[in-house]
A and B are shown apart, each in its own frame.
Chain A
């Protein structure tokens, strides 16, 4: 997969900017404002990270965030508008999954793709409903932490030793520079 520098910058940038999403300036919304636009972006989010277990409303939430970012500045607006037009012209939401993947591959190097993908991978897996579906229980501090029988409830493997092996100290202590200098490096590079 070839990745352009610009797209990667967008990806890393989306990671840095993700937490500041709520504080973006209220730019005038003039892209992705048509009926059906959010659904179209949501279908792209789902094709990027397809989970049968996720209801469409989750992808709609992610699309809303992506659209907000698409409206964040003029440069984003321009590229987002062009990308969205492409989805519409090609009726992306009506394609089967295989064709969607092929289409996404063809636009992989565009700033629009970089913005939507970068946002989706961070926002989707940070979504509270996704955590629930994954069985991720998150914070436990307020209820006193995970209990005995919770954090260690795995029963399909035997109980392991938790102490260090009695030979460990000798193993680590046997590390004199003189002894190890006698070993020669086999150059493989």
Chain B
């Protein structure tokens, strides 16, 4: 449908897992929505099954600067994260793991206690409240191993991982849960084991909003999807309520304005706070909805890291799904290990193109070449664990300008000692898995730009402690919501997309109800 720019509309900014889900929940209930997406719509037929061309096709490459002591700041300055500028957002590129938060991961301050340098805080919601939304989110995505859906089969990379895990006494390994269909589901086909989940997935077996919530929302007749439309400022009226969005046509660079009665922002943990900071005004001199000074702070990215190993015999780990192995044994908080929180190990295959760039950034010489030379006999896994929120790991407006003359975001990231301790533990356990099945050489791969970015608009019970309340509604501006992973108070060990989806379903239902009651 077409919505007039002068009409005070419900405006959602960003069409990733958070924004697309909220837009779908609202349009499903008959509420018209304008969905602004900075990128274009890439149909699945257009996805390219080659690593660098696909990167060029969809990655968010607008100017960004980085500071901090984390190695990624040196290795990949200018590319803090691997996000997508297209309809479907970064879910276009996600691998697909769908674990849930554990109950205590909603309450880390109460559980872990005080940790020097960390700004742990309890979420204002808990596992019990979120449980039904997790079920809805798993059904929306089509998580394997859940809701009676079958597991993905074992691919070669998983065979090495699972046997190594077994020989180390681990129990909780499986080929999921993943958001890639093992059997046809929700109008999408079963996996044909063609991999390239990071490049969009041409078959449509992998869930992402571009093949699910977006077409469903369009089918309601209540959605206007405006692509190449990048929000640059949220304006407020004399009462301090949000009343419009200024957005730019990224092709013509023309500036437009959409009148709004409710705004949901889902631009991810970098672009969402950037937009709020760019929306500073005389009424909100420190940035919109930022009386707490928490906008942009407590940015998290999960600790991450990878372990690769080469063997005597071929593995051909690139065949089949990119990620299809999951191990939960190390997820539980166990302070005896010397750190708070826990982590998952997940199989992950890269092509030689990406592996060369990420195996050991900056390295050269015979040892590196020998490792690459073992490509056919290689197996690999990714580490995903809870990283500590820190007040100064934050998004600010830097002095550099992007191609549109707007202040580029600066991403500051220091590793916390807890992150480093956990990563080292995970490296050891990952190597032990591969050594148990005869690894010749193992390789610890440091974090590279990836999709996980959390926090920076944290959820809090009290207005002074965070930006949004338990529904993602800004404490300071009552008709302004945040609908993406930036609301995460703390990040838990699990991959974030399922939780973002669950929170967005919950927010969408709440907002639809509030709109019907005239409370917004």
Contact = CB atoms under 8 A, between A and B. Distances in A.
A is bound by B: yes
Given A5-B74, A146-B194, A141 B203 contact: yes
B151 A157 contact: no
A160 interface: yes
B159 interface: yes
A76 to B, nearest CB: 17
B61 interface: yes
Nearest to B354: A125
Contact of B61 (A16, A121, A152, A181): A16
Given A50-B365, A125-B352, 16 more contacts: A12-B78, A15-B79, A15-B357, A122-B353, A122-B357, A134-B372, A135-B316, A141-B49, A146-B320, A153-B156, A157-B163, A158-B163, A160-B173, A172-B100, A175-B105, A189-B420
Interface stretch (B107-115, B268-276, B391-399): B107-115
Contacts of A188: 338-339, 421
Interface stretch (B51-59, B207-215, B256-264, B499-507): B51-59
A49 B75 contact: no
A4 to B, nearest CB: 10
B316 A160 contact: no
Which 3 A-B pairs rank lowest in CB-CB distance, beginning with the nearest? A125-B356, A145-B192, A151-B320
Nearest to A173: B103
Interface stretch (A25-33, A64-72, A162-170): A162-170
Q: Which applies to chain A's interface (DSSP): helix, strand, loop or mixed?
A: loop
Given A159-B159, A161-B174, A175-B103, A146 B335 contact: no
B152 A162 contact: yes
Interface of B: 49-53, 55-56, 61, 74-79, 100, 102-107, 110-113, 115, 127, 145, 151-156, 158-160, 162-163, 166, 171-176, 191-196, 202-203, 313-316, 318-320, 328, 331-336, 338-340, 351-353, 355-357, 361-366, 368-369, 372-373, 375-376, 417-418, 420-421, 437
B353 A125 contact: yes
A60 interface: no
A176 interface: yes
A1 B365 CA distance: 12
A138 interface: yes
A164 B49 contact: no
A119 to B, nearest CB: 11
Given A8-B74, A141-B194, A188-B338, A154 B51 contact: no
A168 B172 contact: yes
A12 B356 contact: no
B160 to A, nearest CB: 7
B56 A19 contact: yes
Contacts of B154: 152, 159-160, 162
A177 interface: yes
22 contacts: A3-B362, A12-B76, A16-B61, A18-B52, A49-B364, A49-B368, A122-B357, A126-B52, A126-B352, A136-B375, A138-B50, A141-B192, A152-B320, A153-B316, A154-B315, A157-B160, A159-B159, A161-B162, A175-B104, A176-B103, A177-B103, A177-B106
A162 B342 CA distance: 23
Given A135-B375, A145-B193, A161-B174, A49 B369 contact: yes
Nearest to A11: B362
B361 A124 contact: no
A152 B153 contact: yes
Nearest to A53: B373
Contacts of B369: 49-51
A53 B481 CA distance: 57
A49 B365 CA distance: 6
A19 to B, nearest CB: 4
A130 to B, nearest CB: 6
Contacts of A13: 78
Contacts of B340: 185
Contacts of B115: 185
B50 A180 contact: no
**Most chain A beta-carbon neighbours within 10 Å: one of B75, B127, B336, B351:** B351
Contacts of A1: 362-363
B356 to A, nearest CB: 3
A144 interface: yes
B335 A183 contact: yes
Given A144-B192, A168-B172, A185 B352 contact: no
Nearest to B417: A189
A170 B328 CA distance: 12
A148 to B, nearest CB: 8
B172 A181 contact: no
B142 to A, nearest CB: 17
B336 to A, nearest CB: 6
B357 A125 contact: yes
Nearest to B182: A162
Nearest to B114: A185
Contact of B366 (A12, A50, A134, A168): A50
Contacts of B173: 160-161, 165
A90 interface: no
A24 interface: no
Nearest to B76: A12
A139 B201 CA distance: 11
B111 to A, nearest CB: 5
A173 to B, nearest CB: 8
Contact of A12 (B79, B331, B418): B79
Residue among A20, A126, A150 facing the most chain B CB atoms (10 A cut-off): A126
B155 A125 contact: no
A184 B55 CA distance: 44
Given A122-B357, A162-B152, A164-B174, A138 B351 contact: yes
A9 interface: yes
A117 interface: yes
B77 A9 contact: yes
Given A136-B375, A175-B105, A188-B338, A151 B418 contact: no
Contacts of B175: 162
Contacts of B421: 188-189
A156 B313 contact: yes
A156 to B, nearest CB: 5
A183 B334 CA distance: 7
Given A51-B373, A177-B107, A152 B156 contact: yes
B206 to A, nearest CB: 12
B104 A180 contact: yes
A179 B81 CA distance: 35
